[in-house]
Structure 1
Amino acid sequence: MGVRLAGLLPGELDEPQAEVYRAITGGPRAAGPQAFPLTDEEGRLRGPFNAMLLSPPVGQALQAVGSAVRYASVLTDRARELAILAVAAHWGSAFEREAHEAVGRACGLTETEMAALRSGTEPDLPDPAEAATLRTARTLTAAGRLTDEEYAEAVRVLGERALFELTTLVGYYGLLALQLRVFAGEEPPAPATETNEERQGT
């Protein structure tokens, strides 16, 4: 992955950019043990956070949405990370996957569960809320909507607030994945190739 947007050192930031920087590095993301570093060795923001400095008003609002869906949601930590990793797999975002697999391990996701998330297969999730969260997140990324039946089931298991927060989360991490493609040069996953048997209809 070739980085297109050069990172800014903390000393190069103007005051509006510095406010965004402080909100990211000094807010809830920085509290307690960090599963992945927010900055490089010289203090430049990593991943999608770097591009947020281009427009401090938009960047400040965007990082606040991200902070809310991660730290002020009724979704459990495991359910949240299941959903984020489903979005990362859909978009083929290496940064999101690596960062949130690290967070997922800290939240108790197993390597088997994360392997299933990477491959798009079904992990064994005995918790109904976790299973509904993952199912709904995958439906939203694939179809961009819920049928009436899917909506009713998600509300029955999760509740309306959690479903609202989940749809916001799916949109937020999809947006970050898009920005990583544009500003960090992340490549989308290669399309699956047909086997000889599939091409021959066997």
Structure 2
Amino acid sequence: MTVRLAGLLPGELDEQQAEVYRAITGGRRSAGPQSFALADEDGRLRGPFNAMLLSPPVGLAVQAVGSAVRYDSALTDRVREMAILAVAAHWGSAFEREAHEAVGRGCGLSERDMAALRAGSVPESADPAERTALRITHALLRAGELTGEEYDEAVLAVGARGVFELTTLVGYYGMLALQLRVFAGEKPAAGQATALPQPQTPS
């Protein structure tokens, strides 16, 4: 793993960067028990958060979307964490997997559940709504869309708001996984998150 972007110490940040830093480390992510560290022992942001300092206006908006997905969603905690772990498995993101397996344990996910999610499967313990949410998540990851039948099934299981939030979650954590590849040097496992087909050149 080659880290391309050095972490910045809190004292090295300009005021705009410091605003992003405070929003991440002093917001709801920092309240209550911490499942994973947001910064290292010297205060440098970890994982995808460090790259958000490159563009404070965009970084501030991105972290706000992440906060809303985590803390203001109508999805249950278990559905949210299972969906995040499905995205992490698809992209082969070690940081997302380790961070959200830690969160998942606090939501009642067992080691067996998380092993199933790492393998791209639906845990046996999932209830009907959780199974539907995961099927929809896998469809979004696989095809980038939902069939009419899948959409109707999703709305029945989690509501139209839940479908919107689930698609946002899949896009948000996929974006973070991409940024972790570009800036933190994460590499996908073999067979994970294969490249999209290249557009065909008209003959």
TM-score bucket of the superposed structures, by smaller chain: over 0.9
Gaps of 5+ in 1: 193-202
Q: Which amino acid aligns with 2:148?
A: D
Question: In the TM superposition, what are the counterparts of 1:1-202 in structure 2 within 5 Å?
Answer: 1-191=1-191
Judge conservation of contact 2:20–2:53 (CA < 8 Å) in 1. Answer: yes
> SS where residue 53 of structure 1 aligns?
helix
Q: Which amino acid aligns with 1:54?
A: L
> SS where residue 47 of structure 2 aligns?
coil
Give the fraction of aligned pairs with identical amino acids, expressed as a percent: 76
Q: Could you tell me which residue of structure 1 aligns to residue 200 of structure 2? A: none
For residues 82-132 of structure 1, give each alpha carbon's deviation from its aligned partner in whole angstroms, at most 9, with x where no partner exists: 000000000000000000000000111000000000011231144222111
> SS where residue 46 of structure 2 aligns?
coil
Q: Which amino acid aligns with 1:9?
A: L
Alpha-carbon distance in structure 1 between the residues aligned to 2:126 and 2:4: 42
Judge conservation of contact 2:73–2:165 (CA < 8 Å) in 1. Answer: yes
Judge conservation of contact 2:9–2:43 (CA < 8 Å) in 1. Answer: yes
Judge conservation of contact 2:8–2:45 (CA < 8 Å) in 1. Answer: yes
The runs of at least 4 aligned residues of structure 1 exceeding 2 Å deviation read none
Q: Which amino acid aligns with 2:177?
A: A
Shift in Å, 1:160: 0.2
Gaps of 5+ in 2: 193-203
Judge conservation of contact 1:140–1:167 (CA < 8 Å) in 2. Answer: yes
Alpha-carbon distance in structure 2 between the residues aligned to 1:46 and 1:191: 26
Judge conservation of contact 2:122–2:131 (CA < 8 Å) in 1. Answer: no
Alpha-carbon distance in structure 1 between the residues aligned to 2:96 and 2:188: 13
Shift in Å, 1:137: 0.8
Alpha-carbon distance in structure 2 between the residues aligned to 1:153 and 1:47: 34
TM-score (norm 1): 0.93
Judge conservation of contact 1:125–1:131 (CA < 8 Å) in 2. Answer: no
Judge conservation of contact 1:66–1:172 (CA < 8 Å) in 2. Answer: yes
> SS where residue 22 of structure 1 aligns?
helix
Against the structure 1 CA distance between its residues 190 and 162, is the aligned structure 2 distance closer, same or farther, given a 3 Å change threshold?
Answer: same
TM-score (norm 2): 0.92
Judge conservation of contact 1:44–1:50 (CA < 8 Å) in 2. Answer: yes
